[in-house]
Structure formats: C-alpha cells, structure tokens
Amino acid sequence: MPIISAPQDFSENELFVDLRASVGIPLYLKCEGLNFAGSIKQKAAVSMIEAAERAQRLNSDSILVESSSGNLGVALSMIAASKGYGFLCVTDSRCNLATRRLMEVFGARVHTVTEPDPVDGLLGARINYVRQLVAGDDRYVWLNQYLNANNWRAHYRWTAPAIAAQFPDLDVLFVGAGTTGTLMGCARWFKEHRPKVRIVAVDSVGSVIFGADAGPRMIPGLGAAVRPAMLDEKYVDEVRWVPEVDAVRMCHRLAARGFLFGGSTGTVVAGAAEWLADHDAWDLTAAAISPDLGERYLDTVYQSNWVQDIYGPHALRQTELV
C-alpha cells in the first residue's frame, strides 16, 4: 500500500470488473472512480496543472478557472486545495448538487450558467463566461480542457497502457466521448501500438460531437453541444449513440447486482452491450472505461421521481440488452 502526502498522488489504475459474471455482458470494465477526486478526470487535471507549472503560468496569486459539467471541476478543486491555488468552476444547471457541494467543500467557487448560448448551448455560454473573465483579470488561468493536449496525453500515458497490459489480446475498446480527451489519448495509443484493436466511441443522443443533431441532454459527463477541437476522427473506428433513458436503465441494472456506477458508465456499457449483441461478438475480448462511481447521481439517475419526470413513467422498465 503506497504512502502519499498529496491526494493527487494516488490513483487506482488496475481494477477491472468482469460484467459477464454479474449482468451477462462479455465486457471488462475499467473502474476509474477509485481515487480522491472520484473520477477519471483526476488524470487530466494532474496532467494539465503540472504542464502549466512547468510553463511557469502559475504563481501564488493564480486562480485556476475551468468550464466543467462536474467531475473535472471536483478534480481541479481538490488539486488546487492541495497546492494552494484558487479555483473557480464555471458549470451549468445540469451539474449535480452533490458535485457542486464537493467543489465548495474544497474551497472552490462555483458559477452556474443558466442561459444557453443561442448557437452553442450551455457549453458555449460557459466558455464565453470564462473568456470574458480571463480577458478582464490576469490572475485567472484557464487550463482549457477542450484544447489542452495534456488532457489526452494523460490517457496516452496512463489509461491506455494499463488496459493493454491487462488484456494483451484485446479486440475492441469502448470509450465515452465528452471533451474527447480520454478517447483521443486511448485511441492514439492503440493505433500506434496495437492497431488491430477496434476503437468504438460512445456518445449520447443529442450530442453533436460526431455530427449528429443537437438535442436535450440531462446527464452530465458525456456528449457536447459543441464539437471538441481535439477530436480527430481518423483514430475512431465506429460511433455508437445511446439514448439517455437506456443509460439510466443500465445504471439501475448494474446497481441491482451491487455495482453503483455513474451516468457516463451507464451510457458506455449500454452502447457496448448493443454493439456486442449486434456483432454477435460474445467471444471477443472487449473492454470499456468507467469514468466514475454513482454516489454523485443519487438525486438524479438513481432517484425514481427525477427519472420519471425527465424520461416518462415507464423509464425504469428494465429491458434485456443481451
């Protein structure tokens, strides 16, 4: 067991869950929620902050600012508290209350955008607010997860090699798409080192990342109203779009077997299960990435009234995906 002096020094990077044994899906799920920030975003946060420090962009008066739907905001809040920086998270109304409270406990300030940009939605409004803030006060340092190459480099350095080491005969990897940092880091690594591994991106219905029509989305994490600048589709073999109600049902299906995962995980597993069924691929070695656990979603994804208000009275009807 390691001994650490800063919370960002610990991240469990080798835990996988075999979903065939619990819910009958031939899929190994890489669990990224077992660190002090509670999500895969700790890796990107560490990578971006350390790069900013090396470039001497940060000093004792610096205030980090970032647009985040939640998990990156928590990770940056934690690391800022550890290192003595200020932090302002610009989020929107879809951010879970538990997530906002976590950031505030770490000493961060949280600004919630409520009016969407006419073209680019809530994400566009968040980015516009950050740009205005940075332009008016040079104490603010915007790491900009949407353009920062250290976002995807974190997963090229840590996430993809850990998957490859565990599964030398991997056939297909399913990765959720948001900023596409995780997707691009893993996809680049496998295309360079294991090019036969098929990379399947999983997106939410209503997200425009891969050119689909925009639509309402209520679960934070995956999907975007603006195409991510770091996305390079030549590294992606296929895309699966998952309706949010299917993601919710998958979360409840996993919880019924004792695994409480977040909404993004439900989306990725639902997309993977559908792909495996469509390809009759029960003998392939398949893995997927779970960004976080489910405690932050107790008032949304796991709250029956919220689910039924958003998705209808039959939303929690369980359907067999495999």
pLDDT at residue number 168: 97
Domains identified in the chain, total number:
2
In a domain, residue 302? The reply is yes
Give me the domain span that covers residue 219.
Answer: 7-34+148-311
pLDDT at 164: 98
Q: What is the pLDDT, as a whole number, of residue 321?
A: 43
Per-residue pLDDT of the chain (322 residues; tens, 9 = 90+): 789 999 999 999 999 999 998 899 999 999 999 999 999 999 999 999 999 999 999 998 999 999 998 999 999 999 999 999 999 999 998 888 889 999 999 999 999 999 888 888 888 899 999 999 999 999 999 999 999 999 999 999 999 999 999 999 999 999 999 999 999 999 999 999 999 999 999 999 999 999 999 999 999 888 988 899 999 999 999 999 999 999 999 999 999 999 999 999 999 999 999 999 999 988 999 999 999 999 999 999 999 999 999 999 999 876 444 4
Query: Are residues 87 and 187 located together in one domain of the fold?
Result: no
318 belongs to a structural domain: no
185 lies in a domain?
yes
Query: Residue 206 belongs to a domain with what CATH number?
Result: 3.40.50.1100
Task: Say what the pTM is.
Answer: 0.94
Q: Which two tokens stand for residue 197?
A: 């591994």
Task: Check whether residue 295 and residue 184 sit in a common domain.
Answer: yes
Residue with tokens 């392939």: 284
**CA dist 278 to 104, 166, 272, 273, 274, Å?**
44, 26, 10, 9, 6
Residue 124, token pair as written in the block = 């566009």
pLDDT at position 322, please?
Answer: 40
Asked if residue 112 and residue 177 are part of one domain, the reply reads no
Question: Is residue 322 in some structural domain?
Answer: no
Instruction: Establish if 293 belongs to a structural domain.
Output: yes
Q: Give the whole-angstrom CA distance, residue 262 versus residue 260.
A: 7
125-151 core/surface letters (b: 16 or more CB in 10 A; e: else): bbbebbeebbeeeeebbbbbbbebebb
Instruction: Name the helix (H) or strand (E) containing 191.
Output: helix 181-193
Last residue within a domain, chosen from 107, 126, 142: 142
The C-alpha atoms of residue 123 and residue 113 are separated, in whole angstroms, by: 9
> Per the structure block, which two tokens stand in for 281?
């691929």
